[in-house]
Structure 1
């Protein structure tokens, strides 16, 4: 299965994690799109999600199923496999607690890491949808 990670393209914290996924995704399972881009905006609109709320990470499967916030992070780790599959243990916590922690990080992420855009290498460019 192929997945698309939808993230805040102007967030340093988010861009750090995009790069982190790219470095570990040896199977090429993930493509990427910023929520501010055409693909991201179309995804938000199609799913009735707030178009200006870029605090949420989404993971879209090629079957159009999508995960958000902590569930998206856990799914990404499952797909990466190996030691990262241990993130599945996070499901022990109720979703509302996991997402509460996610929201705290989301509110503070730009304070912690600023704003910048990740510039993909020539090999990575094909994995960015817009």
Structure 2
């Protein structure tokens, strides 16, 4: 099991969580927003520097930005796992594209005021 921490106010981030859920039939991933009490507690427990990036907590370690995204992709059903091959590219290079999207995500995709209530089976995956 792993936990994905995401920006709960970001439409793009929410869509990314829904994308993961649809391609994770074994329910390997659980989710919490960075803004939630659980998210804040996990950030503190793992000593994650202040971030608005996606954070993956797995095997008592944390990963951020493109490394988190690629480690998530390798667990997804279908061809998405092959994206993990990009892990050989240095993070400093991978994160250029990641940071461009992250910096503009509210402008390009909008900000959420309210969260949708997921179905009961999906709701169990949120901490």
Decide: shared fold, TM above 0.5.
yes
Helix, strand or coil at the partner of 1:124: helix
Helix, strand or coil at the partner of 2:25: coil
Distance 1:120 1:21 in 2: 14
- CA deviation string 1:16-72 (max 9, x = no partner): 000111111111101000000011111222233345x32x101111x3111111011
Match of 2:67 in 1: 71
Q: Return 5+ residue gaps in structure 2 as ranges.
A: none
Distance 2:96 2:116 in 1: 27
Structure with bigger RCO (C-alpha 8 Å, 6+ apart): 1
Q: Is 1:33 aligned to residue 32 of structure 2?
A: yes
Helix, strand or coil at the partner of 1:42: helix
Match of 1:58 in 2: 55
Distance 1:92 1:64 in 2: 22
- Show the 5 A alignment for 1:1-130: 2-51=1-50, 53-54=51-52, 56-61=53-58, 63-116=59-112, 117-129=115-127
Distance 1:114 1:108, change over 3 A: same
Q: Across the two proteins, how many residue pairs are aligned to each other?
A: 125
Helix, strand or coil at the partner of 2:120: coil
Helix, strand or coil at the partner of 2:74: helix
Q: Return 5+ residue gaps in structure 1 as ranges.
A: none
TM-score, normalised to structure 1, is: 0.88
